[in-house]
Amino acid sequence: MSRPETCRIAAAPADYQRYGIAKGEIAAWEDGFRTRPGGPGTFEWWYFDAVLDDGSTLVINFMVKDIRGGRGISQPARPVVSFELDRPNGTHVERALHAQDDFAFAADRCDVRVGACTFAGDLHTYRIHLELDAVTADVTLTGQASIRTRSPASRSPTPRSTTTTPAPTAVSAIASRSAARTRSCRPA
């Protein structure tokens, strides 16, 4: 029998130092790939969901491991892109693409590729492109809230340079504007 572990929110200065991040600031590398691909007990994903102007809901997910089945996070890396579109009339479109060897994840920024599908951004603007069976989607997200960011070269809690930039982490602001930024979404 194992001993129970105490959980807590990592908010002390030592916690930020241990992870090489600064409180109240986000660096581009924090949005990049951070785990060892396929490492035991690891899971990483890039996720988008929104309610579009017509009332449809759209969910796009890039995962290093497909945890939707029963194998969980202990399985080896097998990247997958999933797409779900639910329209107000009840139509449901769902697609997934599993990559064999055709994938890449950048560690210094959000730049993910699985087959022809991409998810890339710079803490202000993100672009998602999907080609899954008969579904093609292009989504552009533009941040509406301000955050402090550090230069990509800075991986220490002390920033080398800082700027204020709109952040795509304000989900409600993005979701309410995402339909205007969606160029195409053509399910068969």
State residue 3's pLDDT score: 75
State residue 160's pLDDT score: 29
Which residues, in sequence order, are CB contacts of 148 under 8 Å at separation 6+?
24, 25, 26, 159, 162, 163, 164
State residue 148's pLDDT score: 64
State residue 171's pLDDT score: 29
Ramachandran quadrant class, 164 (left: phi over 0; alpha: psi -120 to 50; beta: rest)? beta
| Global pTM value | 0.70
Could you state, in chain order, the average pLDDT of each consecutive group of 10 residues for the chain (188 residues)? 77 88 87 77 87 94 83 80 95 91 90 94 93 91 74 38 33 29 38
Which residues, in sequence order, are CB contacts of 138 under 8 Å at separation 6+?
127, 128, 129, 130, 182, 183, 184, 185
State residue 33's pLDDT score: 87
State residue 149's pLDDT score: 61
